[in-house]
Amino acid sequence: MDWQSHAGHLAEETVRTDSRWYTPLAETPRHPFVPRWWENRGGGWDLRDGSSDVEAWMRAAYSNTSLVTRVGTLHADDAEPGRRAEGVPTSSSTLPSLVVRMYRHARITDGSKVLVTTGSGYGTALACRRLGDRNITSVDVDEYLVKAAGERLASEGFNPDMAVCDITGDLPGTYDRIVSTVSVRPIPVSWLAALKPGGRMVTTIADTGLVITADKTDDGGAVGRVEWDRAGFMVTRHSDDYAPLLEPLYLAARDEDGDEIGMGRYPVLNVPEAWEVWSMLALAVPGIEYRTMKADGRMTLWMLHADGSWARATGGFDEPPRVHQSGPRRLWNELERVRRRQLLEGSLPVHGAKVTITPSGETTLTRGRWSTTL
């Protein structure tokens, strides 16, 4: 199959031809790393098998999109033909442009020893092509992913160090760069131990779009910033699947009256699509889940939290909504505080914030008079 022309087109779309990442993108096949994947249709996940439709496989594999390879505990590789999965994604092949952006944030140089996260293995392959496989260590909490990716990498001539491990725990070596395409909160203290003097870490904060870069300091901590960029990754997991979503709470919040009923100040917002607001609110109140529904020119937003708090707001796209709230916290009020600050100041202080990580792993974000500790 003519995968080279597809890979060349992807490289041209993603970077300049004089970029050091152009050749890795143009000369590294992606399709062997995603022979099967899940496609979201109608709220569920349909299995796609590349070998059954090679043209569609090439289009999907060499598009600048993420391809979900695991839903719940079910790998696409293991699913029976025609299978439909329910649940949330637990692994994917990240869109190539984002992989490259994360590597660029790491300021990788020739000879850098780099720890990366495995997933499908494609991002590992790009790093191997750029730096040589002797400089790459690839880790994942999922034993199957490490095994499958290792075999697929070997078939392409790459043999990096591969390890099954929880990236938030002890790491299998020391590195000049740690690039995590899963999100964390807090920053694992083990990363500080695994970074060589002057080494750099790149990651995202869980349930936010914030890209964090930080360089190791002489005292064993690290200093960096929140980049003027955004990215969303799956959160680290420590078992086969994520904790169940808050469906029982959603069912209660879907139609019931709240303990407090009133009118909101601002129109309903789809918070996860408003990256700056979503990130700022997640720093203040981590763990909020969202649901949305649009109908007849109106939108409803549900906000749910594991402590039993919930909020429901319904209104037209340009009018104050009617708001129901219950539980120990008023989640809609928390959201409106963030939106009011954005309105008054023109932006929120999250991007460009200074990041300070102590040797014990305490992470503080600071910009101007604003500060928060993870």
CA distance 232 to 210: 8
For the stretch 222-249, pLDDT in tens is: 999 999 999 999 999 988 889 889 999 9
Q: CATH for 3-226? A: 3.40.50.150
What sign results for the dihedral spanned by CA atoms 360, 366, 372, 374? Answer: negative
For the stretch 22-39, pLDDT in tens is: 999 999 999 999 999 999
CA distance 121 to 152: 8
Contact 31, 4 (CB under 8 A): no
With a pLDDT cut of 70, the percent of the chain lying above it is 100
**With 90 as the cut, is the pLDDT of residue 43 above it?**
no
CA distance 100 to 24: 10
HSE toward the beta carbon, residue 6, CA cutoff 13 A: 18
For the stretch 273-329, pLDDT in tens is: 999 999 999 999 999 999 999 998 999 999 999 999 999 999 998 899 999 999 999
Read off the pLDDT band of 42 (50, 70, 90): confident
For the stretch 147-176, pLDDT in tens is: 999 999 999 999 999 999 999 999 999 999
Q: What is the mean pLDDT of the chain?
A: 96
Residues 293-329: b if buried by 16+ CB within 10 A, e if exposed: eeeeeebbbbbbbeeebbbbbbbeeeeebebbbbbeb
Report the CATH fold assignment for 247-345.
Double Stranded RNA Binding Domain (3.30.160)
**Residue 219 has what DSSP assignment?**
T
Average pLDDT over residues 85-112: 96
**With 90 as the cut, is the pLDDT of residue 122 above it?**
yes
Contact 84, 111 (CB under 8 A): no
CA distance 242 to 354: 31
Q: Residue ranges per domain, the chain? A: 3-226, 247-345
